[in-house]
Amino acid sequence: MKNRYDCSKCPGYCCSYDQIEVSEHDIKRLAKHLDLTPEVAKKRYIKIDEGKTVLRHHKDEHYTSMCVFFDREARRCTVYEARPHPCRTYPYGATCGYYDFLKFEREHQGDDEFVATTR
């Protein structure tokens, strides 16, 4: 089934989710990609939030904060080949709710660059 969303036209909303959970396997893959030990990668890029092991964030002008691996200028993932499992499976089907919303807002505003926010 063909995807009805285009991440290359999206400012990366899904990378702003507060709790993107990672497994030990995800951390090992990221560490290998970054040429770090899993311990160092964990210390730099992972935190525990409400008992969950999640990716750290940094501030973002559009969505408050984004995953620490998100390039805020280019609006893309900097570790795409080694991204964690949840990032590989999202949005779990041929459609993305945020993309539909973004498309609607851009058409409505007549602005292809408009960044729709949900907060």
Residue numbers of the site for ligand SF4 (CB under 6 A)? 5, 7, 10, 12-15, 20, 55, 67, 69-70, 77, 79, 83-84, 87, 90-91, 96, 98-99
Q: Cβ of residue 6: shortest distance to ligand SF4, in angstroms?
A: 7
Taking alpha carbons only, the member of 2, 25, 35, 36 closest to residue 83 is: 25
Task: List CB contacts of 118: < 8 A, sequence separation 6 or more.
Answer: 13, 98, 101
Q: Cβ of residue 99: shortest distance to ligand SF4, in angstroms?
A: 4
Q: Cβ of residue 44: shortest distance to ligand SF4, in angstroms?
A: 13
Q: Which of 46/77 has CB closer to ligand SF4?
A: 77
Taking alpha carbons only, the member of 81, 12, 37, 118 closest to residue 45 is: 37
Q: Cβ of residue 112: shortest distance to ligand SF4, in angstroms?
A: 14
Q: Which of 46/96 has CB closer to ligand SF4?
A: 96
Q: Which of 15/27 has CB closer to ligand SF4?
A: 15
Task: List CB contacts of 26: < 8 A, sequence separation 6 or more.
Answer: 84, 85
Please tell me the total number of residues recorded for the chain in this structure: 119
Q: Give strand pairing partners of 85.
A: none
Q: Which of 42/83 has CB closer to ligand SF4?
A: 83
